[in-house]
Amino acid sequence: MNTLKLAVQKSGRLSETSLKLIKECGITFQTRIAKLKAGAFNFPMEFLYLRDDDIPGYVADQVADVGIVGKNVLLEKNDELEIIKELGFSKCRLSIAVPKEFDYQGIESLNGLNIATSYPRILAKYLKQQDIDADIHEISGSVEIAPSIGLAQAVCDIVSTGSTLVSNGLVEVEVILNSEAVLVGPPDLAEPKRKILDQFLFRVNAVQAANNNKYILLNAPDQAITRIIQLLPGMRSPTIVPLAQKGWSSLHSVVKEDDFWEVIENLREAGAEGILVVPIEKMIL
Ligand code: PRT
Ligand code: ZN
């Protein structure tokens, strides 16, 4: 039988959210990740549970067809795979940081330094682009302690909240890469797997659109409707239903999560009342 083999991280920062996305796509599977491999019950998909570092290699070798991995790991491990879709979770950045006492004057201050990192390829490429001549010291973990134990003078590591840097007396000075979880695959995935991937992407897009939007219902006096419609972009145009009370209507539409608070303020100013905002389960555009 034809199935799409999807590699996901076995355990770590990406695994829970990756599996949540798959569930939101209506794909059911055994949730206990005891095995290396498991099949979905209601979709032609199989899951391979792997260490994130191994995912690009397994996809490149066609052991898996596609995978979910951090953009940082993809770019460090493999150039041949394609980013099929940015998934918008596990956002972080790969940055260079120096001890807070360091007199950082700009990127040229990195010349001649020894920089510790688990991302030697990305860092080397960046330094070359920036015309900086520095030494790269590859270490596999606890990069942030390298300066304090005298192993390096700077670090290049993943930063999320920045608290790890602060607690190690480091200051972020250059952002090399903004990363997030991505769906990766070969550029030439053949049928019938391509078709399954398209079906999966259709669902992922619906889930993402739903997560990024809210359904909004509000009441407004009829004379305020024209102004309110301008404030509500909606999918096509808002639904307007007359209320039992004469001169009043109910408007239904969709607003983007990002614009949400600003839109609400403007709606209130324009005369909207009884505003209800509800989550959307799926959204097909
Ligand atoms: O066992 P396996 O090899 O599969 O997992 P792993 O330990 O290599 O990776 P994991 O699970 O830690 O991270 C998986 C992916 O999550 C990474 O490749 C990134 O794409 C993404 N991600 C998002 C992060 C972070 N946020 C993050 N904060 N990866 C690592 N960190 C670490 C970072 O290395 C540093 O030590 O957290 C610390 C910094 O965090 P803040 O919040 O203090 O800045
Ligand atoms: Zn890893």
The enclosing domain of 129 has a CATH number of 3.40.190.10
- Domain range for residue 10? 4-88+181-210
Average pLDDT over residues 99-125: 98
pLDDT band, very low/low/confident/very high, at 208 (cuts 50, 70, 90):
very high
- Residues whose CB falls within 8 Å of the CB of residue 139, separated by 6 or more in sequence, listed in order: 116, 117, 118, 146, 151
- Domain with residue 245: its CATH number is 3.30.70.120
Taking CA atoms, 220 is separated from 89, 172, 226, 254, in Å, by: 37, 49, 10, 16
Atom of ligand 1 nearest to the CA of 53: 3
Best substitution site from 160, 161, 179 to test ligand 1's pocket, by max atoms within 8 Å of Cβ? 160
Is residue 1 scored above 70 in pLDDT?
Answer: no
Average pLDDT, the chain: 95
pLDDT exceeds 90 at position 275: yes
Cα-Cα end-to-end distance for the chain:
31
* pLDDT score, position 57: 97
Output the pLDDT for position 260.
Answer: 86
61 and 192 in a single domain? The answer is yes
**Considering only CA atoms, which residue is closest to atom 32 of ligand 1?**
158
User: Does the beta carbon of 18 sit less than 6 angstroms from any atom of ligand 1?
Assistant: no
Is the Cβ atom of 13 under 6 angstroms away from ligand 1?
A: yes
Residue 33 has pLDDT above 70, yes or no: no
pLDDT of res. 235: 67
93 lines ligand 1 (CB under 6 A): no
Do 165 and 30 belong to one domain? no
CA of 133 to the centre of ligand 2 (A): 28
Give the residue-averaged pLDDT of 107-117.
98
How sure is the predictor about 272, in pLDDT bands with cuts at 50, 70 and 90?
A: very high
Look at ligand 1, atom 11, and give the residue with the nearest C-alpha.
Answer: 12
What are the start-end ranges of the H helices in the chain? Answer: 15-24, 55-60, 71-77, 120-129, 163-167, 193-211, 225-231, 260-269
Is residue 31 over pLDDT 80? no
Whether residue 284 is contained in a domain is answered as: no
**Residue pair 9/50 in contact by the 8 Å Cβ criterion:** yes
Report pLDDT digits (tens) over 219-244. Answer: 999 999 999 999 987 667 889 999 99
The 10s digit of each residue's pLDDT in 182-195 is 999 999 999 999 99
pLDDT at position 219:
97
Distances (CA, A) of 128 to 115, 125, 139, 174: 14, 5, 20, 15
Question: Same domain for 62 and 21?
Answer: yes
Q: Are residues 185 and 241 in the same domain?
A: no
Let me know: does 285 contact 205? Beta carbons within 8 Å: yes
**Average pLDDT value for residue range 91-100:** 98
Is position 285 within any domain? no
**Beta strands 181-185 and 213-221, pairing class:** unpaired
In a domain, 240, yes or no: yes
Residue 139 and residue 63 in one domain: no
State whether the beta carbon of 159 lies less than 6 angstroms from ligand 1: yes
117 lines ligand 1 (CB under 6 A): no
118 lines ligand 1 (CB under 6 A): no
Share of the chain above pLDDT 90, in %: 90
Give me the mean pLDDT over the 207-219 stretch: 94
Q: What is the whole-number distance in angstroms between the Cα of residue 51 and the centre of ligand 2?
A: 6
**Residues 130 and 185 grouped into a single domain:** no
Q: For ligand 1, is residue 223 a contact (CB within 6 Å)?
A: no
Domain count, the chain: 3
Domain presence at residue 170: yes
Q: Is 112 in the pocket of ligand 1 (CB under 6 A)?
A: no
Distance from the alpha carbon of residue 53 to the mean position of ligand 2, in angstroms = 5
174 vs 231, more confident: 174
What is the band of 151 on the pLDDT scale with cuts at 50, 70, 90? very high
Per-residue model confidence (pLDDT) at position 30: 83
Report whether residue 86 contacts ligand 1, using a CB cutoff of 6 Å.
no
pLDDT score at 232: 86
Q: Please determine, for residue 200, whether its predicted confidence score (pLDDT) is greater than 80.
A: yes
93 pLDDT more than 70: yes
Q: Check pLDDT > 70 for residue 9.
A: yes
97 and 72 in one domain?
A: no
How much is the pLDDT for 79? 83
User: Are 170 and 99 contacting, i.e. CB atoms less than 8 angstroms apart?
Assistant: yes
Q: Write the CA distances from 145 to 22, 43, 52, 53, integer angstroms.
A: 36, 45, 23, 22
Question: What is the mean predicted confidence (pLDDT) over 267-280?
Answer: 95
Structural contact between residues 44 and 26, judged by C-beta atoms closer than 8 angstroms: no
Write down which residue in 156, 179, 202 finishes a domain. 179
The helix/strand/coil state of 201 is helix
- The span from the CA of 107 to the CA of 111, in Å, is 8
**Same domain, residue pair 81 and 9:** yes
